[in-house]
A and B are shown apart, each in its own frame.
Chain A
């Protein structure tokens, strides 16, 4: 375990270098080798994190790093929280590394070796940066990995460029990320300059001396920075553009893992570094996080619902799920009291952390599934797909599994974490009377709305993509993805099932991070107090009453009932089975009878019209007389409020202002001289005399 970080670094480093070296001979070889190295690195990460999480409690691995910069001591510090997020990173990384080579070959067979080398290189750097970001023991390592992660993912986003669209997506991504980093820089440097050192222990000590307003200012700076990366509404606009643009296994990593790294940063910065030594966290922190989390959850899923680009739809769902995680985090912040330990805060944090890994698993799975479809059909618009379940049964089945999981339906993992979130919300509602309690309950209602909308969205996404008839020839001639891609998906699918059916066993992994952050009882002491088969929470202040469920028992019940229902389904007697065309009121059914995604989502589009500002344009081509219609063109779009009202406006204003200023410059030399003279004159007047 001591050598764990070294092994991880060696694997990713070797992968990156070999990718560059081998590409001179063969791009394919470089691709395979780099992905193998990434898989090895991920496996090492898995081993290290599991070792730490399951080993003796409270163990922290501290490794000094070489002194790259004379002004800062660099180190790695792997405690429970780090190990947990390292686990999240590694879990998806394993799947992505297995899935990647076959995907890239199938998706872009004409890729040159330069591109393949860049992709292999960037993937390893990306994974390495994420892994070591979680293990960073000082602010500088943290920031370096943070930016390295951004840069590597940017390279991956633009690596697959066809029409310049990806470059634009990448640009938006980088700019937003840079803005976020600027905020983080200020937040971290304010601490480092106070501490005179970069390591987290010193920062913690420095933060202890902060006064309230400064502390809160720093928190909001950090929240802004991390929220940008996490894609929280209204800072999310880059996310649905950048994530789909990357190769699908990278999308899985970006959506499934990279956003979580931002959550890690937020937890680390808030609970570990910035939290006041005594007393609760300031009032404004948790409520803000709860509010932005709820907003993100609802708006994320609402926008997802109207997307017809499969990967974009999934990306918007990441906004939603980050919102759900932030609800848990916000609740933990609200409920945490150092004195009482706060079993309820533990429930909330457990919910957030569990949802982190859950979302990583099912969102990874869904992106990989979307990637399989993409690599076989080269289509991302679900209106052009259809009927793939018969042609790609494995992909379809696994996608359905992911869809059920992400819709927070039992008995899969998404439900477990949402259940915990609900319980934490309920507990919060019982503690806070007055408007605060109402806000919490409202948040719970919104969470329920989110779950329902997610189910609607995935009924649409799965149904239109995989069911019915194929609408294009690409969809019609699709074939099942190769085994290595299926294997990558299977790994994540199995995780979804395992975490759903037996979540109690995973609670031990959450012990270390929750105990480390909240200085209270660990997750398993609270949530699985009644044994690993039962999840329970003690919600009343006295701790007597509580809610308990058993995912395992429900799953067993479902299986038993399914067996019985299967008997019923077969019928009382062996009656004949007949195959006939679908009933379409007597007409011959074609693909045009299939309900489209646009039509499917239309009722909700109208219900939530205030948030969508839907626009539609219908043009008729008539044959001479208005009564004979030849063709009808329909175009509809919805508007992302944040995008149009904030970003486009700001962008327009800034570039208009720049054009104006630029147009003002005459290029006349006397103007140049005048400015020099004026500068001297003003400087003399202001600085020379006034002093």
Chain B
């Protein structure tokens, strides 16, 4: 089975994701601001923040071990590598196989694991609290994600995202069945959890009552924090791309026109999902930590029903 996406295209797509990632965050922030009747910062504000961070010096906690320094490097690498596994502008399996949905989830989990370990390194209560909560939510999210992936993979017989996308084809909007709706619903429930947003997490504050992800980054500073921030942006766009690859991919089309069409479609899809996130963030309150399992339970039931519909 020779794939449709040459290695060069895969790498280009990956770089594209990294480059566009902060923009998505910026867009969501801007939309949130507008929804809250604020002016808000520009959509390119995350780029400015990153640029500033990479120029700054670092303040490192005196208790940290040698691992702490390298954590941002590894987290960023793992997250970006996950970006290489999602089809962005063209469906179909890659020419040389890299990884599938399971690998993608694995790489994201690796990044999360390393972040949590880094958070514990400084020996402060905030990092520990953030790590503990993050590692509580993550195991609950992962099975549901896996079931969502399976709900589409069972039909296609593969977990390779490009192949999944190709299997769904260009006319996906005609072929959607009840199972797909439910699976998509489950995915929408999971999205805030996976991207660290309300109602599961609040990316805007460092208050100890709310923080999960941000708490873990507290002791990072300068370029290290820049790497972690970039990783967060990338992770967000990779998750959104995963949703689009699973549920509304664009089919394989050759030539430059096809690529352009794919890029355009990608932009639209991400924008739609970003708008969804912004809407949710603006209209819901942050849940208590121990309400989160219940919230995820909704996703679990949706995913299970989707699977049941697919298999029975």
Direct contact between A and B judged by beta carbons closer than 8 A = yes
Segment 270-312 of B: residues with Cβ below 8 Å from A? 289-290, 293, 304, 307-308, 311-312
Question: Which listed segment binds A: B26-34, B94-102, B238-246?
Answer: B94-102
Nearest CB on A from B228, distance (A): 10
Q: Known: A387-B63, A419-B103, A575-B55. Is A547-B125 also a contact (CB below 8 A)?
A: no
> Chain B: which residue is nearest A573 at the CB level?
B55
Question: Which listed segment binds A: B40-48, B116-124, B193-201, B250-258?
Answer: B116-124
Provide the A379-416 mask, 1 if CB < 8 A to any CB of B, else 0: 00000001101100100110010001001111000010
> Chain B: which residue is nearest A465 at the CB level?
B120
> Chain A: which residue is nearest B51 at the CB level?
A572
Contacts of A578 in B (CB 8 A): 57-60
The complex places the Cα of A418 from the Cα of B106 at a distance, in Å, of: 10
Q: Known: A409-B109, A599-B128. Is A459-B123 also a contact (CB below 8 A)?
A: no
- A565 near B77 with CB under 8 A, answer yes
Nearest CB on A from B99, distance (A): 5
Contacts of B105 in A (CB 8 A): 448
Contacts of B22 in A (CB 8 A): none
Q: Known: A444-B146, A580-B59. Is A546-B158 also a contact (CB below 8 A)?
A: yes
- A437 near B311 with CB under 8 A, answer yes
Question: Which listed segment binds B: A312-320, A552-560, A627-635?
Answer: A552-560
- B157 near A409 with CB under 8 A, answer no
Q: Known: A448-B145, A545-B158, A593-B125. Is A426-B150 also a contact (CB below 8 A)?
A: yes
Report which of B58, B61, B139 forms a contact with A452, defined as CB distance below 8 A: B139
- A582 near B59 with CB under 8 A, answer no
Q: Known: A389-B67, A410-B106. Is A445-B147 also a contact (CB below 8 A)?
A: yes
Provide the A433-461 mask, 1 if CB < 8 A to any CB of B, else 0: 11101100110111111011101101110
The complex places the Cα of A349 from the Cα of B64 at a distance, in Å, of: 43
The 5 A-B residue pairs with the shortest CB-CB distance in the complex, in nearest-first order: A595-B128, A452-B139, A463-B120, A575-B57, A468-B123
Q: Known: A569-B223, A595-B120, A607-B293. Is A422-B61 also a contact (CB below 8 A)?
A: no
Contacts of A603 in B (CB 8 A): 132-133, 136, 289-290
Interface presence of A589 (CB below 8 A):
yes
The complex places the Cα of A447 from the Cα of B97 at a distance, in Å, of: 24
Nearest CB on B from A453, distance (A): 4
Interface presence of B23 (CB below 8 A):
no
- A550 near B129 with CB under 8 A, answer no
Sorting the interface of chain B by its residue count into under 10, 10 to 19, 20 to 34 or 35 or more gives: 35 or more
- B81 near A561 with CB under 8 A, answer yes
> Chain B: which residue is nearest A445 at the CB level?
B143
Other than the known A593-B124, A607-B293, what 6 A-B pairs have Cβ atoms closer than 8 Å? A422-B102, A453-B139, A459-B135, A547-B158, A565-B76, A581-B61
Contacts of A589 in B (CB 8 A): 63, 123-124
The complex places the Cα of A409 from the Cα of B117 at a distance, in Å, of: 14
The complex places the Cα of A290 from the Cα of B118 at a distance, in Å, of: 36
- B110 near A409 with CB under 8 A, answer yes
Interface presence of A576 (CB below 8 A):
yes
- A459 near B307 with CB under 8 A, answer no
Interface presence of B226 (CB below 8 A):
yes
Q: Known: A456-B135, A545-B156. Is A550-B311 also a contact (CB below 8 A)?
A: no
The complex places the Cα of A688 from the Cα of B65 at a distance, in Å, of: 84
Segment 216-259 of B: residues with Cβ below 8 Å from A? 218-219, 222-224, 226-227, 230
Interface presence of B170 (CB below 8 A):
no
Contacts of A467 in B (CB 8 A): 64-65, 67, 117, 120-121, 123
Sorting the interface of chain A by its residue count into under 10, 10 to 19, 20 to 34 or 35 or more gives: 35 or more
30 residue pairs of the A-B complex, CB under 8 angstroms, read A389-B66, A397-B67, A418-B102, A419-B102, A419-B106, A426-B153, A426-B157, A430-B157, A433-B312, A445-B143, A448-B145, A449-B140, A455-B139, A459-B117, A459-B120, A463-B128, A467-B65, A467-B117, A546-B158, A549-B98, A550-B98, A557-B81, A568-B73, A568-B226, A570-B223, A582-B61, A599-B129, A600-B128, A604-B135, A607-B293
Contacts of B123 in A (CB 8 A): 386-387, 467-469, 582, 589, 591, 593-594
Segment 60-82 of B: residues with Cβ below 8 Å from A? 60-67, 69-70, 72-74, 76-78, 80-81
Provide the A288-332 mask, 1 if CB < 8 A to any CB of B, else 0: 000000000000000000000000000000000000000000000
- B139 near A459 with CB under 8 A, answer no
- A438 near B135 with CB under 8 A, answer no
- A557 near B133 with CB under 8 A, answer no
Interface presence of B21 (CB below 8 A):
no
- B154 near A429 with CB under 8 A, answer yes
- B56 near A546 with CB under 8 A, answer no
Interface presence of B84 (CB below 8 A):
yes
- A459 near B116 with CB under 8 A, answer yes
- A389 near B60 with CB under 8 A, answer no
Nearest CB on B from A75, distance (A): 43
Residue of A456, A547, A549, A561 with most partner-chain B CB within 10 A: A547
Report which of A404, A430, A593, A604 forms a contact with B113, defined as CB distance below 8 A: A404
The complex places the Cα of A573 from the Cα of B53 at a distance, in Å, of: 11
Contacts of A463 in B (CB 8 A): 116-117, 119-121, 128, 131
Interface presence of A105 (CB below 8 A):
no
Nearest CB on B from A438, distance (A): 6
Segment 585-638 of A: residues with Cβ below 8 Å from B? 589, 591, 593-595, 599-604, 606-607
- A468 near B63 with CB under 8 A, answer yes
The complex places the Cα of A645 from the Cα of B59 at a distance, in Å, of: 53
Nearest CB on A from B301, distance (A): 12
Interface presence of B126 (CB below 8 A):
yes
Interface presence of B211 (CB below 8 A):
no
Interface presence of A462 (CB below 8 A):
yes
Residue of B57, B125, B224, B226 with most partner-chain A CB within 10 A: B125
Contacts of B312 in A (CB 8 A): 433-435, 437-438
- B227 near A569 with CB under 8 A, answer yes
The complex places the Cα of A583 from the Cα of B163 at a distance, in Å, of: 48
Contacts of B76 in A (CB 8 A): 561, 565, 568-569
The complex places the Cα of A602 from the Cα of B119 at a distance, in Å, of: 17
- A438 near B106 with CB under 8 A, answer no
Segment 126-185 of A: residues with Cβ below 8 Å from B? none
Contacts of A599 in B (CB 8 A): 128-129, 132
- A462 near B129 with CB under 8 A, answer no
Q: Known: A449-B139, A589-B124. Is A415-B106 also a contact (CB below 8 A)?
A: yes
Q: Known: A540-B157, A546-B157, A571-B222. Is A445-B146 also a contact (CB below 8 A)?
A: yes
Q: Known: A577-B60, A603-B289. Is A558-B78 also a contact (CB below 8 A)?
A: yes
- A452 near B154 with CB under 8 A, answer no
Nearest CB on A from B148, distance (A): 10
Interface presence of A523 (CB below 8 A):
no
Nearest CB on A from B29, distance (A): 23
Interface presence of B160 (CB below 8 A):
yes
Report which of B54, B106, B117, B153 forms a contact with A408, defined as CB distance below 8 A: B106
Nearest CB on B from A524, distance (A): 17
Contacts of B70 in A (CB 8 A): 569
- B57 near A607 with CB under 8 A, answer no
Nearest CB on B from A343, distance (A): 13
Q: Known: A455-B135, A546-B157, A580-B61. Is A468-B120 also a contact (CB below 8 A)?
A: yes
Q: Known: A545-B157, A550-B99. Is A459-B131 also a contact (CB below 8 A)?
A: yes
Report which of B109, B124, B159 forms a contact with A547, defined as CB distance below 8 A: B159
Contacts of B129 in A (CB 8 A): 595, 599
Interface presence of A377 (CB below 8 A):
no
Interface presence of A579 (CB below 8 A):
yes
> Chain A: which residue is nearest B128 at the CB level?
A595
Residue of A433, A545, A550, A606 with most partner-chain B CB within 10 A: A545
Contacts of A595 in B (CB 8 A): 120, 125, 127-129, 131-132
> Chain A: which residue is nearest B115 at the CB level?
A459
Nearest CB on B from A467, distance (A): 4
Nearest CB on B from A53, distance (A): 26
> Chain A: which residue is nearest B7 at the CB level?
A553
The complex places the Cα of A415 from the Cα of B107 at a distance, in Å, of: 10
Q: Known: A575-B57, A593-B124. Is A549-B97 also a contact (CB below 8 A)?
A: yes
